[in-house]
Amino acid sequence: MTGKVEEALSYEQARDELIEVVRRLEAGGTSLEESLALWERGEELAKVCRRWLEGARARLDAALAEEEETEAAADAEGSRETGE
């Protein structure tokens, strides 16, 4: 799976598949070629998860910044109304 298919994975889907990849690698018993393919898939899945988490962090940061701006504007408005 590459490209658009990976982009269509939700965070939870990518995380769950990554967990399975790690479990299979830790269990051993795979050929070198299969182990390398699993490792590469794990790296791809980790990137998908990282992009989701970075996007979530950006959304949280934006929401927090908006909240701070709203509070600052309200504080400034309140100061003007009371003459402070």
pTM: 0.73
What is the spatial distance between Cα 28 and Cα 5, in angstroms, rounded to a whole number?
27
Tell which residue, 25, 15, 71, 23, has the closest CA to residue 45.
Answer: 15
Specify the higher pLDDT residue, 11 or 73: 11
In this model, does residue 1 exceed pLDDT 50?
no
pLDDT tens digit sequence for 4-57: 666 699 999 999 999 999 999 999 999 999 999 999 999 999 999 999 999 999
Tokens 């009371």 label which residue? 82
